[in-house]
Amino acid sequence: MIHQERVNPSSTSMRKILIQIDSDRQPSVFDAVVALDAGIDHLLPYGGVVADQVRDLVHGAIFTRGPQDLKSTAIFIGGQNVAVGEALLEEVVKAFFGPLRVSVMLDPNGCNTTAAAAVLRAAKHLDLPRSRALVLGATGPVGQRVCRLLARRGAQVRVGSRLRDRAAQVAERIGTAAGGDRLEPVVAGSPDEVAAALEGRDLAVAAGAAGVQLLPVAQWSACKSLKVMIDLNAVPPLGIEGVQVTDKAKDRCGVLAYGAIGVGGTKMKIHKAAIARLFESNDHVLDAESILQIGLSLESQGG
Amino acid sequence: MIHQERVNPSSTSMRKILIQIDSDRQPSVFDAVVALDAGIDHLLPYGGVVADQVRDLVHGAIFTRGPQDLKSTAIFIGGQNVAVGEALLEEVVKAFFGPLRVSVMLDPNGCNTTAAAAVLRAAKHLDLPRSRALVLGATGPVGQRVCRLLARRGAQVRVGSRLRDRAAQVAERIGTAAGGDRLEPVVAGSPDEVAAALEGRDLAVAAGAAGVQLLPVAQWSACKSLKVMIDLNAVPPLGIEGVQVTDKAKDRCGVLAYGAIGVGGTKMKIHKAAIARLFESNDHVLDAESILQIGLSLESQGG
Amino acid sequence: MIHQERVNPSSTSMRKILIQIDSDRQPSVFDAVVALDAGIDHLLPYGGVVADQVRDLVHGAIFTRGPQDLKSTAIFIGGQNVAVGEALLEEVVKAFFGPLRVSVMLDPNGCNTTAAAAVLRAAKHLDLPRSRALVLGATGPVGQRVCRLLARRGAQVRVGSRLRDRAAQVAERIGTAAGGDRLEPVVAGSPDEVAAALEGRDLAVAAGAAGVQLLPVAQWSACKSLKVMIDLNAVPPLGIEGVQVTDKAKDRCGVLAYGAIGVGGTKMKIHKAAIARLFESNDHVLDAESILQIGLSLESQGG
């Protein structure tokens, strides 16, 4: 121990620096506060970041500290636009030079931590490999991640969208990635379509745009098989009628309901643990699946 | 140890985060350094902030930490434009959700801390409830605050402007807010008008635009009643002819003179104390009156 | 109380604040990380800074802390454009008020730390007052600094450029500043011109634009007098054919070769030491010569 410290004093005293790359003009206060509360020492916030600025930012991260200290520098990619965030992540990874790299976490609009938290909460009540889920707003950035994560955990997932083609495209793409045929596209626009899509499901997740109601109370209350419903929309009107934003395993007519704030505590724990994970080595690329894994390991530790 | 953790572990270790909301493209170095010297742990600076960006910034402040820890996050509103700062404050307060709020301080262009410092310095030499003051440049952002604070402390205040209508409007508005008829509009443009306005006054405060002389030496040196004169302009030519920017209770022909730097030490103490106050609870909204109160309590502690 | 003030509590406990003034839209991560690793406590990063914003930034630095504490605030000027950086430095110095000033370091695009590192590495192998050097790409921002520093250390320097007029202008300007006639302009565009310019030289430094080859292998390998060659370009194709970016005193056909990364360790040490130097007093203006001096003092300490 002492010997180790003599050999390499800097890696123990290195301060943890997080580079916040955000596509919004004003970088997220939310992400900044969570990162500070997760124990980083210094935040370098960058707002309004566009793809061709990424290389210089990354080079500044990888060419300043010695290889053994690169784990004390990390990158967080945020912003409200998930697709832009994904493009920025590609640029970040392209800018690495072999072993000269730092860990990076993708969570624009909280998409990964939110999707992971929803799946974790569902797993509290359901055996996912036996679960049959309907995801509404499934073709959006959070919805796609919920579908992916549920399918990876073994659930049968209906990918719900108002548009059949869009649902089919997303189901096929995720199905390929998730390595199975557990995804089924469904049209879920009108109340009747939603009722049909919900039939036989024990889990419903609403992951649509803010302020759009996707699942009326008449439909879900008539569904005998439904056990858990999770609404990830925090802005009224919520995605599932009759759910409150603060619901946390609240019994509503026999269905356990979660609102966005009800899932928020789990999301926050995952977010902080993921930030901490970034500084354990210099080669993490934390996206949906790895962030869910972090959540699962928190659960197994009784977190 | 265990006991301590049961009581409230997080609120004792929480780092103090100040969110600097500034309407200028480059957020103020001045405000940043003072905040750091006032003991905050982390600054999140935001420049070029416009009204419709405020809600997300505030939500990031109030939705990240638990209710008992919200007092460790606060907001400072700066920038050179006071009216814009006031509009940003409105947006900040609108974005709070009941008890989910953080303390906020308004001090664009140093208007509140400067006005409070001027009033405090005047109170060193004058009994304010018996004082009769003339404020020149009284319709500007700092001048209005000086009038308000003097009237609240019981002084008779002449609200001086080159334009009678403007002076009358401001006097009426402040008079209503200050709850009395202690404000009198006066026209104070030409030397003769200024001399008339100054008659019988024991206090003169110049709060006009930078580089504009408001009170010539011939006028104030001829005023027998004048005891204290305070010039808040730091850029030559100063607002009161013959006053030096560093004057601090300097006797000039029998009148105690203050320049902007002479008031600066008091302003800085108030500024730092106000920042510290933000972190005592999560519900402060520090504007002119509350910032003067902080200054008064510093005085009473011998500060 | 008096005793406490004699000791001077504030100046010992004052946190070190570095104001990063960067002309690029996104301030440099590289400069930020190096500054944090050099021991500063807080970084205030400013990106996209233009000349007329400098005065307010500087005033915020000099008007916040007492004179004895100004050494705990400093300014770093970066950005990719060296000429813009030099203009920003002028604005910074103009904004000081006599003794109210803070230390400032100029290193846009790493020009000063890179030039100083190249000269220091050359001095490891050569007696500079007896050395005869050729600098290629000598009229660029790094090249000019290499010429200046070599001439100041007593070397005979050929100022190489494709354009005779440009070379002559730069040689004259630097010669005047360096106080001697140790600079000779040479045209060094075609291979024959480069071969002629290299004749009798023991040192060659390539300081041209990224990705432009200035010195082919046929030319340098035929030069009997050449002992050391340093390529400061990190982006292939390098400025000196046959040199690797990681070369560090690597023997290549009898010539000791350095690439940009081979010089990087020295550059980094100089950069960190220069940042630390800023906080020793409030009156440093660190440009090429003073930054080389810092490097030399590191060498003499066995750094």
Query: Looking at residues A225-231, what average pLDDT do you find?
Result: 98
Cis, bond preceding A191 (omega within 30 deg of 0): no
For A60, the closest chain C residue by CA position comes to C30
State the pTM of this model: 0.92
Question: Any chain A CB within 8 A of the CB of C29?
Answer: yes
To which residue do tokens 């189901």 refer? A171
Which among A46, A48, A73 has the least Cβ separation from residue C33? A73
Could you give the count of Cα atoms lying within 13 Å of A289 in the half-sphere of its Cβ? 9
Question: Any chain A CB within 8 A of the CB of B102?
Answer: no
Rounded CA separation C169/C154 (Å): 20
Report whether pLDDT(A2) > 80: no
Question: Any chain A CB within 8 A of the CB of B40?
Answer: no
Q: Cβ contacts (< 8 Å) between A45 and chain B: which residues?
A: 44
Indicate yes or no: CB of A29 within 8 angstroms of CB of B42: no
CA of residue A226 relative to chain centroid, distance:
24
Q: What is the pLDDT of residue B217?
A: 96
How big is the A-B interface in CB pairs under 8 Å? 47
The DSSP element (H or E) to which C120 belongs, if any, is helix C111-125
| Neighbours, chain B (3 or more CB pairs < 8 A) | A, C
Rounded CA separation C50/C28 (Å): 16
Which among A26, A30, A34 has the least Cβ separation from residue B46? A26
Question: Any chain A CB within 8 A of the CB of C249?
Answer: no
Joined together, the tokens standing for residue A53 give 């600025």
Indicate yes or no: CB of A49 within 8 angstroms of CB of C26: yes
Q: What is the pLDDT of residue C181?
A: 83
- Tens of pLDDT, residue by residue over A55-93, are 999 999 999 999 999 999 999 999 999 999 999 999 999
Question: Any chain A CB within 8 A of the CB of C15?
Answer: no
Q: Which amino acid is at A40?
A: I
Q: Which amino acid is at A135?
A: V
* ipTM of the prediction: 0.90
Helices (H), chain A: 2-7, 9-13, 29-37, 54-62, 82-95, 111-125, 141-152, 164-178, 191-198, 217-221, 260-278, 288-300
Q: Chain A interface, mutation test: which of B10, B44, B46, B100, most A Cβ atoms within 10 Å?
A: B44
Q: What is the pLDDT of residue A8?
A: 42
Question: Any chain A CB within 8 A of the CB of B44?
Answer: yes
Report whether pLDDT(A11) > 70: no
- A135 vs B10, more confident: A135
Q: What is the pLDDT of residue A5?
A: 33
Question: Any chain B CB within 8 A of the CB of A276?
Answer: no
Report whether pLDDT(A302) > 80: no
Q: What is the pLDDT of residue B4?
A: 34
Local structure of residue B26 (DSSP, 8 states): S
Report whether pLDDT(C302) > 70: no
Indicate yes or no: CB of A25 within 8 angstroms of CB of B65: no
Q: What is the pLDDT of residue C6?
A: 36
- Tens of pLDDT, residue by residue over A242-262, are 999 999 999 999 999 999 999
For C10, the closest chain B residue by CA position comes to B37
Which among C33, C43, C264 has the least Cβ separation from residue A65? C33
Q: What is the pLDDT of residue B180?
A: 67
Q: What is the pLDDT of residue C180?
A: 67
- B85 vs B175, more confident: B85
Q: Cβ contacts (< 8 Å) between C65 and chain B: which residues?
A: 33, 37
Is-contact B195 B222, C-beta < 8 A? yes
Q: Cβ contacts (< 8 Å) between A37 and chain B: which residues?
A: 14-15, 64-65
Question: Any chain B CB within 8 A of the CB of C104?
Answer: no
Q: What is the pLDDT of residue A254?
A: 96
Nearest to A106 by CA among A11, A193, A21, A191: A21
Q: How far is A168 from chain B (nearest CA, A)?
A: 34
Indicate yes or no: CB of B45 within 8 angstroms of CB of C49: no
Is-contact C130 C100, C-beta < 8 A? no
Question: Any chain A CB within 8 A of the CB of C25?
Answer: yes
Which among B31, B33, B45 has the least Cβ separation from residue C17? B33
- Tens of pLDDT, residue by residue over B135-173, are 999 999 899 999 999 999 999 999 999 999 999 999 998
Q: What is the pLDDT of residue A180?
A: 67
Indicate yes or no: CB of C32 within 8 angstroms of CB of A60: yes
Q: How far is A20 from chain C (nearest CA, A)?
A: 11
Which among C15, C57, C61 has the least Cβ separation from residue B26? C57
Residue B265: partners with Cβ closer than 8 Å, 6 or more residues away: B248
Which among C24, C36, C45 has the least Cβ separation from residue A17? C36
Question: Could you tell me the domains of chain B?
Answer: 5-106 (3.40.50.10280), 114-263 (3.40.50.720)
The pLDDT-based confidence of C235 (bands split at 50, 70, 90) is: confident
The DSSP string of C77-92 is EE-S-HHHHHHHHHHH
Q: Cβ contacts (< 8 Å) between A268 and chain B: which residues?
A: 64
SS3 C34: helix
Q: What is the pLDDT of residue B3?
A: 35
Query: Looking at residues B4-8, what average pLDDT do you find?
Result: 37
**Long-range contacts made by residues B67-70, C-beta under 8 angstroms, separation at least 24?**
B67/B99, B67/B100, B67/B282, B68/B8, B68/B10, B68/B11, B69/B10, B69/B11, B69/B14, B70/B100, B70/B101, B70/B102, B70/B282
Q: What is the pLDDT of residue C301?
A: 80
Share of chain C above pLDDT 90, in %: 86
Torsion of CA A111, A115, A118, A122, to 10 degrees: 170
For C55, the closest chain B residue by CA position comes to B29
- Tens of pLDDT, residue by residue over B258-278, are 999 999 999 999 999 999 999
In the stretch 119-178 of chain B, residues with CB closer than 8 A to chain A read none
Q: What is the pLDDT of residue B300?
A: 83
Nearest to A146 by CA among A178, A102, A169: A178
Question: Any chain A CB within 8 A of the CB of B49?
Answer: yes
The pLDDT-based confidence of B175 (bands split at 50, 70, 90) is: confident
- Tens of pLDDT, residue by residue over A165-224, are 999 999 998 888 776 689 999 999 999 999 999 999 999 999 998 888 999 999 999 999
Q: What's the whole-number average pLDDT of chain A?
A: 92
How big is the A-C interface in CB pairs under 8 Å? 47
Joined together, the tokens standing for residue B10 give 């997080």
The DSSP element (H or E) to which B229 belongs, if any, is strand B228-231
Q: What is the pLDDT of residue B209?
A: 85
Report whether pLDDT(A230) > 90: yes
Joined together, the tokens standing for residue A208 give 């649509």
Residue A173: partners with Cβ closer than 8 Å, 6 or more residues away: none
Q: How far, CA to CA in Å, does A216 sit from each of A205, A239, B251?
A: 13, 8, 78
Indicate yes or no: CB of A14 within 8 angstroms of CB of C25: no
In the β-sheet with A17-22, what is the strand arrangement from edge to edge? A42-46, A17-22, A73-78, A103-106, A285-286
Nearest to A167 by CA among A150, A152, A179, A184: A184
Q: What are phi and psi of B189, to 5 degrees?
A: -110, -65
Q: What's the whole-number average pLDDT of chain C?
A: 92
Question: Any chain A CB within 8 A of the CB of C210?
Answer: no
Nearest to A158 by CA among A142, A178, A173, A136: A136
- Tens of pLDDT, residue by residue over A135-161, are 999 999 899 999 999 999 999 999 999
Rounded CA separation C205/C119 (Å): 9
Query: Looking at residues A25-43, what average pLDDT do you find?
Result: 98
- Tens of pLDDT, residue by residue over C146-196, are 999 999 999 999 999 999 999 999 999 888 877 668 999 999 999 999 999
Report whether pLDDT(C11) > 90: no
Question: Any chain C CB within 8 A of the CB of A16?
Answer: no
Name the β-bridge partners of C257.
C229, C250
Is-contact B58 B2, C-beta < 8 A? no
Is-contact B54 B81, C-beta < 8 A? no
Q: How far is A31 from chain B (nearest CA, A)?
A: 8
Which among B15, B46, B63 has the least Cβ separation from residue A36? B15
Is-contact B171 B101, C-beta < 8 A? no
Let me know if C261 is exposed, middle or buried by CB neighbors in 10 A (0-12, 13-18, 19+). middle
Joined together, the tokens standing for residue A273 give 């643990």
